[in-house]
Amino acid sequence: MWDEYLFPQSVDEALEMLEAHVGEARIIAGGTDLTLQSQRRQVPAKVVVDITRIPGLDHVEERDGLIYVGAQVTHAQVAASPLIGSLAGVLAEACGSVGGPQIRNVGTLVGNVVNALPAADGAMALFAMDAEAEVAEGTGRRWAPIASLYAGVGRCTVDSCEAMITQLRFPALRDGEAGAFERLAKRRTLILPILNTAVVLGIDGGKIEKARIAIGPVATTPFVATEAAAALVGRAPDGAAVAEAAKLASEAAEPRYSLLRGSTEYRKSMVEVLVRRALTRAVARACGEEGENGNS
């Protein structure tokens, strides 16, 4: 399958390795996507550059109201992190729903983003959290908004043959802010969702002052329902506002017909249900009616 398996000791070394094998070397993190993709020859690579032993990429920490998550952090670590649990619960929920325990022990949140599936659970929460990714490339490092990383199904604008993502960051939720994650799948676990949504909203003085709604897979990339979110802002966080936003989200979503995942009609309707449920839970949490990790 691969000819060479390398362990760089620094980000710079990783980039050098990629450069040394132009176009034929690729980053690997947990390998839960790449291994199968290479085996099935969907993603060619002769050399893989394993970033899981580079010092300094395993952090989950808060600085100045921003949470930073390193490229080695797995879904299991995100789900179990007390920091994420209290300041970004929606992400913990999302990562906790990926695959089964073995996959979560190995698969990384960053890998989930670079793999660029419109149904990825962890990535969906990052959209709702308005995350950014730090990209390390030949010319240096830069922060890129999450949406800018997506170019289509399975297509990330960061080419893992040339560059890598070193960490993610997003604002920690403040008082009056909360999120929630919902998914619908053909069985209860160990399965990609036929639909998922992550929402975050902030309530101040009895009014919704900010909202973000991310939905997948209803387009070629994770879909941010801007109109629906905008419709919430300035309103009291009541059932009517939530229902209206959910309806708008459903109207904007364009799931494709899928033999295995379900019809357009069904999934479009379900967008409304899931978004409504997620918003309702987020409102309850933001109003302190429910702990960030509690159930509805």
Ligand X SMILES: Cc1cc2nc3c(=O)[nH]c(=O)nc-3n(C[C@@H](O)[C@@H](O)[C@H](O)COP(=O)(O)OP(=O)(O)OC[C@H]3O[C@@H](n4cnc5c(N)ncnc54)[C@H](O)[C@@H]3O)c2cc1C
Site string for another protein, 73-102 (x = CB under 8 A): ---x----------------------xxxx
| Cβ-based neighbours of 58, under 8 Å, separated by 6 or more | 70, 72, 73
Q: Verify binding: residue 73, ligand X, rule CB under 6 A.
A: no
CA distance 40 to 187: 25
| Cβ-based neighbours of 268, under 8 Å, separated by 6 or more | 218, 250, 253, 254, 255
The beta strand positions in the chain, using DSSP E, are 4-6, 25-28, 47-50, 60-63, 66-70, 132-137, 140-145, 150-152, 155-156, 164-171, 177-184, 195-204, 207-216, 223-224
Residue 154, binding choice from another protein, ligand X, none, Cβ under 5 to 8 Å by partner class: none
Residue 101, binding choice from another protein, ligand X, none, Cβ under 5 to 8 Å by partner class: another protein
Q: 45 or 231, CB closer to ligand X?
A: 45
Phi and psi, residue 21, nearest 5°: -120, 60
Q: 76 or 126, CB closer to another protein?
A: 76
Site string for ligand X, 166-205 (x = CB under 6 A): --------------------------x-------------
Q: Are 293 and 89 in contact (CB under 8 A)?
A: yes
Radius of gyration for the chain, computed over Cα atoms and rounded to the nearest angstrom: 19
Q: Verify binding: residue 118, ligand X, rule CB under 6 A.
A: no
Q: Residue 14's closest CA among 46, 56, 49? A: 49
Q: Are 90 and 78 in contact (CB under 8 A)?
A: no
CA distance 252 to 288: 30
Stretch that binds another protein, among 34-42, 85-93, 131-139, 162-170 (CB under 8 A): 34-42
Q: Verify binding: residue 222, ligand X, rule CB under 6 A.
A: no
Q: Verify binding: residue 153, another protein, rule CB under 8 A.
A: no
Q: 121 or 132, CB closer to another protein?
A: 121
Q: 237 or 255, CB closer to ligand X?
A: 255
Q: Verify binding: residue 144, ligand X, rule CB under 6 A.
A: no
| Cβ-based neighbours of 232, under 8 Å, separated by 6 or more | 201, 208, 211, 241, 242, 245, 279
CA distance 182 to 30: 25
Instruction: Report the site for ligand X in 13-32 (rule: CB under 6 A).
Output: 26-32
- CB-closest chain residue to ligand X: 111
Stretch that binds another protein, among 113-121, 130-138, 190-198, 219-227 (CB under 8 A): 190-198
DSSP H or E segment with residue 209: strand 207-216
In the chain, the amino acid numbered 232 is L
Select the residue interacting with ligand X from 85, 89, 107, 255 (CB under 6 A). Answer: 107
Residue 51, binding choice from ligand X, another protein, none, Cβ under 5 to 8 Å by partner class: ligand X
Residue 260, binding choice from ligand X, another protein, none, Cβ under 5 to 8 Å by partner class: another protein
Residues at the interface with another protein (CB under 8 A): 1-5, 7, 28, 31-32, 35-36, 38-39, 47-48, 50, 52, 76, 99-103, 105-106, 184, 186-192, 259-260, 262-263, 266, 269-270, 273, 296
